Amino acid sequence: MALSLKARSVFLGAPGAGKGTQAKEVAATCALAHISTGDMLRAEVAQGTELGKQAKGFMDLGKLVPDDVIIGMVQKRIALPDANAWILDGFPRTVVQAEALDRSLPKAQALSHVVYFAVPEKVLFGRLTGRRTCSKCGAIWHVETKPTKVQGICDACGGTTVQRSDDHPDKINQRLVEYRTLTEPLLAYYRGRNLLRELDANRAPAIIFKELLQLMQ
């Protein structure tokens, strides 16, 4: 089963819902561009750019980066030649961002699907506190459900695995509060446009992946 190369999808869900992991898998399988605003921002921070410096203060506090910064970054990315078909992971996070995205897309390149990854909050908290990310290749691990063979060393590339600053318990609580306040209204926004597809993401990744491909047909 393969997705149309013209697919333009948004993956929505709370932090830790698994949307980033699934976005990478679907994009690799179906030759779609995986556009992760989180990855883009962390790269800017690591490179010490002006945008990275602006974003770091918000990210360290577990807060969302301002709309104008994110919108400009995404508009620039989807204008690149490889972005005829894509998955947006981590954007939009507010209705303002969603409306800006709609204005940015020509009618011929309108959104195809919006998939909501539904996971109970208590499950999200456990996923996030145990999550570890490779500082070299970006691979994601978990101390309980997906541990590395050697603690602190990435199985994929041998890099060091670290806990992101926004995955500490106090930051997680802040992120979930902001998600409920700012991002959940997007569900009503996209449901009203008949684009929303809900996915039970509290299951094994392989099962989620299979159902995800079916939802996006």
- Sheet of 86-89: strand order equals 33-36, 86-89, 8-13, 113-118, 196-200
User: 93 catalytic, yes or no?
Assistant: yes
Cβ neighbors of 125 (< 8 A, separation 6 or more) are: 16, 169, 172, 176
Tokens read off for 179 = 């998600």
Distance CA 74, CA 12 (A): 16
Distance CA 26, CA 20 (A): 10
Q: Considering 19, 24, 42, 132, which one is annotated as catalytic?
A: 19
Burial class (CB in 10 A: 0-12, 13-18, 19+), 134: buried
Q: Considering 63, 146, 164, 197, which one is annotated as catalytic?
A: 164
User: 77 catalytic, yes or no?
Assistant: no
Counting Cα atoms < 13 Å in the Cβ hemisphere of 78 gives 27
Q: Considering 8, 56, 77, 93, which one is annotated as catalytic?
A: 93
Beta-strand relationship, 131-134 and 140-142: antiparallel
Which residues are the active-site residues?
Answer: 19, 93, 131, 164, 175
